[in-house]
Structure 1
């Protein structure tokens, strides 16, 4: 079956900070950095490309029309717990910490994080 999403372009204000935050998180979720590029590829072929574009204007606000958040997967609950434990030292801030790991409902096991630029990522156990 072909992948559902081909790629995602992520526009950021601070490439250096975002590279550290996103690079760590994507690697923790099984993505591989592509040599010499600000790009990470998932084993299914989907990739995320990061850049600061001269066409950007204004700050990112996930609460405005557009993409609210990105959801990634990890294979196990132990992997999710590891991402949670290490996220702060990599620039991420946990959202809904008081409801971890069921902030999305009792049957949903996930971690919600926000980057320093306010991008939200939901890390979900399994498919």
Structure 2
């Protein structure tokens, strides 16, 4: 048996669980993640040994919204299958009225050899989709 490596899971508290679920229910399968767990106040997606968990923020902690520029999580980056896959995701995100970050620098906002797409989830968490070479 192969011993898992890398991270085990990441858990993110979200302001509105339904909005977040609607957003990620489409995106995660596009990135080869499958629904792993679901319960009243959360859900998760898994790819291999690692999984990503989303849980509803308790009301007493909702006053201060997430901002990626504060200390803590800045963004999540996922692998795309190819550059063509990024182009396909870009079209689908536009149809869903998801605004892009750094659109004027697409697809090289991360540098000359870094082909990627950047956008935000409903809590304004930055998502990066990166193409393999």
Matched, 1:82 2:88: yes
CA RMSD of aligned residues (A): 1.9
Find the aligned partners of 1:106 and 1:12 in 2 and give their Cα distance: 33
> TM-score normalised to the size of structure 1?
0.89
> TM-score normalised to the size of structure 2?
0.85
The answer (yes or no) to whether the contact 1:21–1:91 under 8 Å persists in 2 is no
Matched ranges for 1:1-127 at <5 A: 2-34=4-36, 36-37=38-39, 38-42=43-47, 44-54=48-58, 56-57=61-62, 58-90=64-96, 92-126=98-132
Computing the radius of gyration from Cα coordinates, the structure with the larger value is: 2
Count of equivalent residues:
126
Alpha-carbon spacing, 1:121–1:93, altered in 2? closer, same or farther (3 Å) = same
Structure 1: any 5+ residue segments left out of the alignment?
none
Find the aligned partners of 1:19 and 1:79 in 2 and give their Cα distance: 22
User: Alpha-carbon deviation of 1:35?
Assistant: 5.5
The answer (yes or no) to whether the contact 1:109–1:125 under 8 Å persists in 2 is yes
Find the aligned partners of 1:28 and 1:60 in 2 and give their Cα distance: 25
Structure 2: any 5+ residue segments left out of the alignment?
none
